Structure 1
Amino acid sequence: MIKEIGEDLLEKVVKLAWEISQAKNSFPKYESYDDMYNGFLKAIHHNEDKVLVCCEDGEIIGVLNLFVETKNKFLQGQGGIFAKGDFNFVATQFIDYLRKNYEGNEMFFGYPAENEEAINFLKQINAELAESSLTMELEKNEFIKSLVSSDVVPLEKEYYDEYAAFHDKHNPDIYWTSERIFENLNIWKIYIVVKKQKIAGSILIRMVDDKLADICCVTIDSKYNSCGLELDLFSESLYDIFKEGKERVLHFVDEDANEELHAALKVGFKQIDSYRGYRLKI
């Protein structure tokens, strides 16, 4: 049985989810027990998000922190499905619940490649592999600034419309469309490279909190492939980010993005994990 919980069961549910997460990782990863607790608490008090549990014989055997965006028919498992015991059984109960209550939505899950149990289940239910990437991390004290050969500048209003078209054209399948970006512009840092009076490349960086930033995407016009724009964008934007007080930056690099990976390694990023993102039509 699947049911939504309130704050009265929060501590018990978070303890279970945290214990499971230490052995079977998923994305987004929680930095600490307190981080998970606060994330679940926020979901409970949100008008659309919810924390769901799977119960059997009165015992909680599964947890799902569900992000819900009704307007865009978008769902995401915040931390994936936490299952005690038989993962396939627990996950099936949650998927059946979603199909009954969120028909027509798209559900997204993220797991490390090493979590074969979860990935095999998603394959069995014909979820689509939407992203296969390397999880990279850069600490402030390991950043290596390279000489920049292009003029990398923060995005200004005069380029808003062009950037929106550029971003959407080159990133048609990501959640963060230009419309969503500009609706939440306060959480972003955007840098561009202009060549021949047109945007040739860009980097989109989310300010997660006071110390952490997350690179959403690095986008290069195909005419400028192998021109080193990735390295220029990394060097200039990250120099500013760290100067402003960030201590750590995360970045998910597509496994086939060789130029981007090379540039990321050159400025000091190190691989800490792998990522598989799956999309399921509910």
Structure 2
Amino acid sequence: MIKTINKIEEVIDFAWELSQNDLYASYHRIKSMEKLREDFERALVRDNESIIACYQENVLCGVCIYFWQCDEKYVQTTQFLIRGDYDETAEELIDHIGKQLPGFELYIGVPFSNKAANQYFKKNNFECIESSIDTRLYNLKIQMNEKHEQVEEITNSNYEEYAIFHDKYAISLEMYYNSENLKKDIEKFKILVFKQDGAIRASIFTKKVRNMGEIFGLFVDEQYKNNGIEDILINEMLMQLYNKFGSLDEVAYFIDEDSPDELNSALAAGFQINDKYRCYKCIL
């Protein structure tokens, strides 16, 4: 039985317990009960977010928080937590979301360590669209203070030139933040590009929320990879974030597991490996 949750206390202890266990956790990881409560409370008041729970014989066995964007036909879970029969509970939760949002693309993130989740999505032919290493840099400090002459910032005034380069990578990666969606939220992002011979050869874009930042993407043209551009852009971004916002508590950076050079550049800049996760997609 699927139930829409209106009272947090009914499910929060269950969600907290499972979110702290590598075998049951979903993505993104939750570090404190306070943060989890904030996520639940936000979902209760937003028009495009919901909390549902699955019960089997009156026993709570699954909790899901999800939000959606109608214009994009996009829906994403922020918590997808199951104990017991994973297959049966996952099917009930996903079926319910599908009835509410038919034809939408559903995205669910889980860590590598949740074997039951990964097995379920693989055998049910969900598309694995991302397999990433989650790295974090804590208590951002300035690493350098000289701006690189080939690095430029992208704003509304020069965005049209950048959009073409951005979509060359973002669309093939099926990113939500294609050039159109990125422009809608451009005030929340810092975008830097590396130019050579008058053309954009690489870019990095980062979003800041409260006292945290997240590097959403680092794109480098194939012929310019592994020549130090990755290092330049990462360090330039960190410097500019620090100069504008001061010592951020945390900067997150998800790196494709098949990008060892990008990972090495992040580690050299002070990032640490935090976790590994996969994101799966299906059409409801």
Q: Secondary structure at the match of 1:25?
A: coil
Whole-Å separation in 2 of the counterparts to 1:178 and 1:21: 33
Q: Which residue of 2 aligns with 1:60?
A: 60
Tell me how far 1:110 sits from its aligned partner: 0.9
Question: Which residues in structure 2 correspond to 1:190-205 (within 5 Å)?
Answer: 190-205=191-206
Question: Normalising by the residue count of structure 1, what TM-score does the alignment of the two structures yield?
Answer: 0.92
Q: Is the 8 A contact 1:152 1:233 kept in 2?
A: yes
Equivalence for 1:176: 177
1:129-140 alignment runs, 5 A limit: 129-140=128-139
Distance, in Å, in 1 between the alignment partners of 2:100 and 2:155 is: 42
| Aligned 8 A contact 1:108 1:279 in 2 | yes
Counterpart in 2 of 1:21? 19
Unaligned 5+ runs, structure 2:
none
Paired residue for 1:238? 238
Q: What amino acid maps onto 1:90 in structure 2?
A: T
Partner Cα distance (2:261, 2:146) in 1: 17
SS, match of residue 20 in structure 1: helix
How much does 1:100 deviate?
Answer: 2.7
CA distance in 2, matches of 1:73, 1:123: 23
Indicate the residue corresponding to 1:248 in structure 2.
Answer: 250
Give the partner amino acid of 1:168: D
CA distance in structure 2 between the partners assigned to 1:49 and 1:170 by the alignment: 29
- Partner Cα separation in structure 2 for residue 221 and residue 180 of structure 1: 22
1:104 aligns with 2:106: no
Residue 152 in 1 paired to residue 151 in 2? yes
Please give the alpha-carbon distance, in whole angstroms, between the structure 2 residues aligned to 1:213 and 1:67: 21
Do the aligned partners of 1:146 and 1:235 also contact (CA within 8 Å) in 2?
no
Q: Check the 8 A contact 1:146/1:267 in 2, yes or no.
A: no
Contact 2:4 2:53 in 1 (8 A): yes
SS in 2 for 1:111: strand
Q: Is the 8 A contact 2:207 2:216 kept in 1?
A: yes
Q: Does residue 45 in structure 1 map to residue 45 in structure 2?
A: yes
Unaligned runs of 5+ in 1: none
Residues 144 and 266, structure 1, Cα contact 8 Å, conserved in 2: no
* Aligned CA-pair RMSD: 1.9
1:36 and 1:82 mapped to 2: Cα distance? 13
- C-alpha distance in 1, partners of 2:92/2:240? 46
Percent of aligned pairs with the same amino acid? 29
Q: Is the 8 A contact 2:194 2:200 kept in 1?
A: yes
Displacement of 1:140 in angstroms is: 3.3
Q: CA shift at 1:204, angstroms?
A: 0.6
CA distances 1:164-192 after superposition (whole Å, capped 9, x unpaired): 11111122111111111111122211111
Residue matched to 1:281 = 283
Residue type of the partner of 2:203?
S
Q: SS of the counterpart of 2:11? A: helix
Q: 1:159: how far off?
A: 2.0
The residue identity in structure 2 corresponding to 1:98 is I
- Change in 2 beyond 3 A, CA 1:87/1:180: same
Q: Within 5 A, what are the aligned runs for 1:83-98?
A: 83-98=82-97
Task: Say if 2:25 and 2:81, in contact at 8 Å, map to a contact too.
Answer: no
Paired residues for 1:201-280 under 5 Å:
201-210=202-211, 212-243=212-243, 244-245=245-246, 246-280=248-282
CA drift of 1:147 comes to: 8.3
CA distance in 1, matches of 2:88, 2:144: 49
* CA shift for structure 1 position 146: 9.8
Q: CA deviation at 1:141?
A: 5.8
